[in-house]
Structure 1
Amino acid sequence: MKSILMMFLAMQMATSHFALASAPTTFEQAKVELRQKVYYDRNTSEAGDLYCGCDWKWVGRSGGRVDFASCGYEVRAQENRAQRIEWEHVLPAYAFGSQRQCWQNGGRKNCIDTDPVFRKMEADMHNLAVSVGEVNADRSNFRYGVLPSTPMQYGACPTRTDFQQRVTEPRDQVKGAVARIYFYMHDRYGLSMSRAQQQLLMAWDRQYPVSAWEQERDRRIARVMGHSNPFVTGERSWNLGMRVKGAGTMAQAIRSEPVQHQVSGGYASSSLSPVIGNRNSNVYHLPVGCPSYEKVGTRNRVEFASAADAEAAGFKRAGNCR
């Protein structure tokens, strides 16, 4: 009986710790959290950095110096950036930022200044990984792809980039991991992804299953972020053209109001139907009183718990709503 009680208390403590997890609110804070709580013992492990498998020596709060000999790395063009580790947004900031209205109105800086959802995406630890700085710079905001005829560019590091096609092919060991990070980001933040990119990443997901380190990384990040990547844990799987949840945008608003239904000239509260946003036009539609509510295509559709959530995410009410 005593052992059962102790197990119950341990479970309660673990649950409480998870519930009290506080996700970082800025990119800079996320890097420090990753250094201290996720990658603290990975700088000399077999896995190494994301793209080349290099070891590194920690420097400062979240930086590091790359050990070229550990992975046979050779500098391509940028000596200074090659020597340091950087924190790579696996799904580039441009890829998720350009789908926000704030980016259209002033780029990344404007998004950081004005859009809480963008700041949340930029600081999402699930999307951040250690990378050799030069490879991070070369990858830029290019999409992932397959480059069978592109020669090796960094000595023994197998990741390659075609600058004309704007494509990077990561090393085989992380192809499944980057695919599942892409799935997570698009699903959590209601982002659109091309059919060709979906097909490629689905193939990588099948070909390169979740590794032990990927599982441990997910557990460590979940303790800070408060949630796991469901495509790593197996709770969700990606299907071509699937309907994304957009949970990260629904939870963002500081103050939320109930979904409204038009009744006798006013609005009555309801929690049954979501507010539907169109990420292509950046307008949202209410369940009642908006003629285009059912007309938003799956690819451009994102759901919000309330009109306030939609507006906090940068959407405006559709002009044809009565």
Structure 2
Amino acid sequence: MLMLVFITLSTDVLNAAPVDFDAAKRLAARIYADERTDFYCDCPIRWNSGKAQIDLKACGYQVRKNGPRAQRVEWEHVVPAQQFGASRACWKQGGREHCGDTDRKFRQIEADLFNLRPALGEVNGDRAHFRFAELPNVRPQHGACPIRIDFSRQLAEPRAEVRGDIARIYFYMADRYQLTLSEAEQKLFLRWHSEDPVDQRELTLMQRTAQQMGHSNDFVTGEKRWYPGYLSAQPEPVDAEPAAALRPLNSALQNSNVTAVLGNKNSKKYHLPQCSGYSQIKHENQQPFATEAQAIAAGYKLAGNCKK
């Protein structure tokens, strides 16, 4: 049975959200410790002590300009810092660095784990703060990596497999932090949300992230639904049908066996989904928990193969 961590989060978990971008990167490395490819290029990743190593040859990646940066994995803000920071006074006074030094709210937004994904450093740099769009007339500039970037118009087109993920991140960030999405962006993201619905992997990563953030991305769970006029508080059309993207998610919620924290009744150790021992606990020995705090309160300790 699926335990919905976004409903049963404890106060201890609420206090676990990262306070700045550096803390967020450390937590993101734990959340994505079993992620096998990067976000934009689908290049293989191998994790070693929280550090990601990329195999560029395996995915046909070609360095465009910055070879050293292409060799590393960075934490990409899907909604760029400029988009949520440029309207703040600190940004006008000294840009992102000044905001990081002086604006607590900016640091909170910058550290939101739902907005971070592992990406090749060069692609992260090339995408910069560009808005997303579809660019059928632009050729990919990074070998077999499918991302397309129009530097002159400052636009980027991601691969089809992550477009729905991107849409739901934008919906979440706009909703939580009162960010403005243009009418064109809303139409584009609504279409991407429908064409690339929530899958089990996205749901699992959302659950792990929710454990740290203290809340879910409700556009992934289906508890919230974006519609034109959402930002201006216009009522949702009464005859609107539920988005097609939510139907696969509802099925996943009903059929999934993913649990946030899994304890071993024999060893009194608990495991997280990204740990090697998580899938090795015999069914009769499994004790599910909604949060780490619940496991600890029940006398369980973190398993040795899952040390943070």
| TM-score when normalising by structure 1 | 0.67
Equivalent of 1:57, from 25, 36, 46? 46
2:25 maps to 1:39: no
Match of 1:306 in 2: none
Match of 1:201 in 2: 189
**1:65 and 1:83 in contact (8 A); partners too:** yes
> Kindly, what percent of the aligned residue pairs are identical?
47
Taking the TM superposition and a 5 Å limit, the aligned residue runs for 1:271-282 are none
Structure 2 CA distance for aligned equivalents of residues 104 and 15 of structure 1: 37
Equivalenced residues, count: 228
Match of 2:256 in 1: none
Equivalent of 2:16, from 22, 27, 31? 22
State the 1:21 CA deviation: 4.7
Structure 2 CA distance for aligned equivalents of residues 60 and 19 of structure 1: 24
Structure 1: which 5+ runs fail to align? 1-6, 246-322
Structure 1 CA distance for aligned equivalents of residues 9 and 108 of structure 2: 23
SS at match of 2:76: strand
Letter in 1 for 2:216: S
Structure 1 CA distance for aligned equivalents of residues 184 and 215 of structure 2: 29
Structure 1 CA distance for aligned equivalents of residues 74 and 116 of structure 2: 10
Letter in 2 for 1:39: Y
Structure 1 CA distance for aligned equivalents of residues 203 and 12 of structure 2: 17
SS at match of 1:217: helix
Letter in 2 for 1:64: A
Structure 2: which 5+ runs fail to align? 234-308
Structure 2 CA distance for aligned equivalents of residues 195 and 174 of structure 1: 21
* Deviation readout 1:30-88 (Å, 9 max, x if unpaired): 0110112x11111x3xxx11101112233565x42211133221111111111110100
Change (3 A) 1:31 1:226: same
Larger relative contact order, structure 1 or 2 (CA cutoff 8 Å, min sep 6) = 2
SS at match of 1:228: coil
State the 1:15 CA deviation: 4.2
Q: What's the RMSD between the two structures over aligned residues?
A: 2.0
Structure 2 CA distance for aligned equivalents of residues 16 and 121 of structure 1: 21
Write out the 4+ residue segments of structure 1 that deviate beyond 6 Å after TM superposition: none
**1:180 and 1:205 in contact (8 A); partners too:** yes
**2:13 and 2:213 in contact (8 A); partners too:** no
* Deviation readout 1:264-312 (Å, 9 max, x if unpaired): xxxxxxxxxxxxxxxxxxxxxxxxxxxxxxxxxxxxxxxxxxxxxxxxx
Match of 1:297 in 2: none
Taking the TM superposition and a 5 Å limit, the aligned residue runs for 1:282-321 are none
Taking the TM superposition and a 5 Å limit, the aligned residue runs for 1:1-322 are 15-16=9-10, 19-36=13-30, 38-42=31-35, 44=36, 48-58=37-47, 61=50, 63-243=51-231
Letter in 1 for 2:25: K
Letter in 2 for 1:230: D
Structure 2 CA distance for aligned equivalents of residues 20 and 231 of structure 1: 19
SS at match of 2:46: strand
| TM-score when normalising by structure 2 | 0.70
Match of 2:290 in 1: none
State the 1:18 CA deviation: 6.6
SS at match of 1:105: helix
